[in-house]
Amino acid sequence: MVPTYAVIPTTAPTVIPTPTAPISTPDYSVIDLNNGAVKSLSYTVKSSGQSFSPVNITLQEDSELKNSLQSIINKYPAITQASIVAKDLSSGRGVVINGDYVYTAASAGKLFPAVFLLRMVDSGDLRSDNLFKGNGFGQLDMNQLLYHLLNGRGTNYYSESGQIWTFLKNMISLPTIQDSASAWQATSYNAEDNTITPRAMLDFLTQVEKSNILQGQTKSTLYNVLQNTNNDSLIAKGAQGYTTIHKWGLLSDTLVDTGLIQGKGKSVAVAIFTKGDTKNFAIFQEATREIVQKLIENISSNINTNPPGGNITPSNCKAKELDPYLPQPQHLDDNELCNDGSLAKLFSPSYTPANLVNLRTVLGSKYLLLEGLSENNQILVKDAMVNDLKKLLDYITDKYNQSGQSACIPAVAYGYRSFALQQQLYDKNNCIWDPETASSVVKDQYGKIPQNKQDRRWCGAGRPGGSTHQSGLAVDLYCAKLTCSDQSNCKIDLDYNRSIKQFLTNVEMNNFGFIKSLPQDTPHYEYFR
């Protein structure tokens, strides 16, 4: 039987992944949005025990910036009303211009149900691999649903003609959305009218970025969708060179663009609301870009400003002209994982992460741990990953530990590695650092970097101080074979031709909190939650 896969609309961007398993498998249960019975799902999240702790970052107004932005607004008479609110979420510095005016949120109001759906994933009421079925759009996975929800055109939440919005009303009611938005600090949001003040939108964005409103994976899912917005001529265009996560909305008399601008160790929440005849859209675009460029100048000129109560300057991939890896590990101790798999800065030789635990002590004898490869015959990891690692090992065992050639016994070889041990592996593997490819490669016969790029091969070990193993958040996972002549005489073989990567997709690994930032390092995985 040929498996049936989810319908992938042609309008979806290439970054939206297709389901990697047939719909018939239990892991991809289908939620029929035509069925009113699914409405009950939206209410279970309230009793799921999922906590939310608001974060308060007091805005310290920058009068000079406010005057500069007001001058920009005055240059555009076609804009009859404008509100700008922005806040540096590290220092609290920012600006409020007409922050309490009430506007129609347009499509920016879709952020609230999007966060609601993702919180249902965090709470366990939904799964990230659920498929959603509805008339007119076939079946969509969670990423695709969010993409069409946030970027689709002609899908008005308050109109029965909006397909996805109409079906989602079976799951989320307007009162539920309004109550949730208020709890998330968007206290002025009116779901019935879809109206909000810019100040309330700013407070909501602050929670999205800084609080525990979303967990690591679901926040990354939201950010990935918003980084692929269907209009990059606004905030994103004005913030070239920075990572922009934004949602825009357009009505006949209102243009809204709101989101986060990230770079150089800063994260700035922004909401820009303008009114006028938006038929002159080019004027509104130009004004938005100029406003954002002024904010960027302000970010750059205050790059050394330290957050209140501390003197830590965050390490940032932008200094290396790289974007941060998404999802970003949450316990990386004043460092950042970049999108090429490197760290923003090298760990010092003396750095040892806090909260390391011995896997044998916490997991017992059930699991195959190759402790002889590690220092003191112990595999240490940060305690934050233990529960998810155990679930992952159980999942692999249950799914693939069948008789015959398909058997896979998951084995953990390395966890935390000190700077000194990393140096030993680096030297043993004949490694040399290649700045051009930003990777460790095998030395040539003269002990240097091979001249031809095609001769530069990954040597199997990151440079000392540059490995996430030193953070305690990385593990090496292998597929082992156990050959026994009798019950007491067994031999463990690591089958390098049958890696974990062959058995599990990246989506499956992400479900347990693990990512693969270095595709060339087959057994290497990092924990991000």
Mean pLDDT, the chain cut into blocks of 10 residues (529 residues total): 25 29 40 54 42 82 90 91 91 91 90 87 75 68 76 42 58 82 92 93 93 82 76 65 81 89 80 87 86 79 38 60 84 86 88 88 85 84 90 82 60 90 92 86 91 88 92 89 68 65 75 86 87
Write the secondary structure of 294-345 as one string of H (helix), E (strand) and C (coil): HHHHHHHHCCCCCCCCCCCCCCCHHHHCCCECCCCCCCCCCCCEECCCCECC
- The pTM for the full model equals 0.54
In 3-state terms, what secondary structure has residue 452? coil
pLDDT at residue number 71: 92
Mutual angle of helices 142-151 and 216-226, in 10-degree steps: 40
CA distance 202 to 204: 5
Which two tokens mark 439? 């990777």
pLDDT at residue number 49: 39
Alpha carbon distances (Å) from 502 to 189, 345, 492: 47, 31, 19
Which of 182, 151, 202, 160 minimizes the C-alpha distance to 13?
151
The answer to whether 172 and 113 have CB atoms below 8 angstroms apart is: yes
Alpha carbon distances (Å) from 75 to 57, 71, 80, 291: 32, 7, 11, 11
CA distance 383 to 362: 9
CA distance 314 to 9: 40
Which two tokens mark 444? 């040539």
CA distance 102 to 186: 12
Alpha carbon distances (Å) from 363 to 214, 359, 366, 511: 28, 6, 7, 20
Residue 321 backbone dihedrals phi, psi, to 5 degrees: 60, 40
pLDDT at residue number 98: 95
pLDDT at residue number 134: 66
Write the secondary structure of 211-259 as one string of H (helix), E (strand) and C (coil): CCCCCHHHHHHHHHHHCCCCCCCCHHHHCCCCEEEEEEEECCCEEEEEE
Which of 299, 290, 305, 197 minimizes the C-alpha distance to 243?
299
CA distance 266 to 87: 10
